C-alpha cells in the first residue's frame, strides 16, 4: 500500500524553494514524508519487527511548481485556482501550478531520463547513486528528512557525461568509472555548494569519491 518504503524503490521527497532562484533558503516541505519507514514483518514467535529503513532517498523541488496543463483538465475543472493565468500566450498552451511529492518525483524521473540519454550504458543503480552523490545537503534537515539531499540536476548530468561509454561485462569491481576528474561542487544564482558525496543505503549512508570514480558491485545489476 506504500510503495515508497520498498528498499529498492528510489523514493523522492519534496522541498520548498519559496519561489526564489537561490538555493540557500530551500527546505523540506512540511507535507513531505519523513523516515524511518514503519513497514513490519512477523517472525516465527509472533513478534512484530519494524523495518526502519532510511527514507526518502532524495528530495527535489515540489512546492508550487508550474507544469503543462491539458485542455479540459479535470483537476483544473475541480480546482480552478491551480490554473496559472498568463498573458501573451497561446491559449492552447496552458499551465497549472501543483505541489506534492508527485511533482518532485516527476523532476527526478526526468533527470534520470536525461542521464540515460547522455549515457545509455549506465545502470539504474548507477543513475540513482550519482543523483544522490551530487545532491545538495540542506542544513535545515537531517538524513531522515532529505536522504542524500536535494536533487542537483546539473551535477547529476555532469557526472553522466563523465561515465565511460564502454561499460559492459566482464568488468572488474574497482575499475575506473569516469573519463575525467570527479567534480565536487556546483554553482547556482551566484552561490556555490558542495555535493553531498553521500549514497543512502537501507540502514546507513556511504560516502567517498570511490563511489563515483570506481565501479561498484551494485552498479552492475540495477536491482
pLDDT at residue 43 in the model: 95
pLDDT at residue 8 in the model: 87
How many C-beta atoms lie closer than 10 Å to residue 58's C-beta? 25
Q: What is the mean pLDDT of the chain?
A: 92
User: Band of the pLDDT at 223, cuts 50, 70, 90?
Assistant: very low
pLDDT tens-digit profile of 138-164?
999 999 999 999 999 999 999 999 999
In angstroms, the CA 124 to CA 10 distance is 10
Torsion of CA 172, 197, 106, 103, to 10 degrees: 160
Torsion of CA 103, 57, 208, 115, to 10 degrees: -40
pLDDT tens-digit profile of 170-183?
778 999 999 999 99
Above 50 in pLDDT, residue 167? yes
pLDDT at residue 1 in the model: 65
Above 80 in pLDDT, residue 91? no
Peptide bond into 170 cis (omega under 30): yes
Residues composing the chain? 223
pLDDT tens-digit profile of 72-81?
889 999 999 9
Cross-strand partners of 59: 13, 150
Residue 43 vs residue 87, higher pLDDT: 43
Above 60 in pLDDT, residue 218? yes
Amino acid at each position: 500500500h506504500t510503495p515508497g518504503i520498498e528498499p529498492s524503490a528510489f523514493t523522492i521527497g519534496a522541498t520548498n524553494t519559496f519561489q526564489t532562484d537561490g538555493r540557500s533558503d530551500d527546505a523540506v516541505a512540511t507535507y513531505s514524508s519523513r523516515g524511518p519507514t514503519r513497514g513490519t514483518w512477523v517472525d516465527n514467535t509472533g513478534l512484530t519487527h519494524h523495518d526502519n529503513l532510511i527514507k526518502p532517498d532524495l528530495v527535489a523541488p515540489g512546492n508550487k511548481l508550474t507544469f503543462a496543463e491539458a485542455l479540459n483538465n479535470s483537476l483544473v475543472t475541480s480546482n480552478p485556482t491551480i490554473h496559472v493565468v498568463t498573458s501573451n500566450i497561446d491559449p492552447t498552451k496552458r499551465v497549472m501550478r501543483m505541489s506534492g511529492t508527485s511533482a518532485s518525483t516527476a523532476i527526478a524521473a526526468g533527470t534520470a531520463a536525461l542521464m540515460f540519454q547522455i549515457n545509455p550504458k549506465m545502470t539504474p543503480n548507477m543513475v540513482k547513486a550519482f543523483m544522490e552523490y551530487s545532491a545538495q545537503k540542506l542544513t535545515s534537515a537531517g538524513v531522515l528528512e532529505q536522504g542524500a539531499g536535494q536533487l542537483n540536476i546539473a551535477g547529476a548530468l555532469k557526472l553522466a557525461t563523465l561515465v565511460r561509454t564502454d561499460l559492459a561485462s566482464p568488468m572488474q569491481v574497482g575499475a575506473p568509472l569516469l573519463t575525467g576528474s570527479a567534480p565536487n561542487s556546483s554553482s547556482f544564482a551566484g552561490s556555490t555548494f558542495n555535493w553531498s558525496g553521500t549514497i543512502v543505503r537501507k540502514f546507513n549512508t556511504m560516502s567517498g569519491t570511490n563511489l563515483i570514480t570506481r565501479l561498484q558491485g551494485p552498479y552492475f545489476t540495477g536491482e
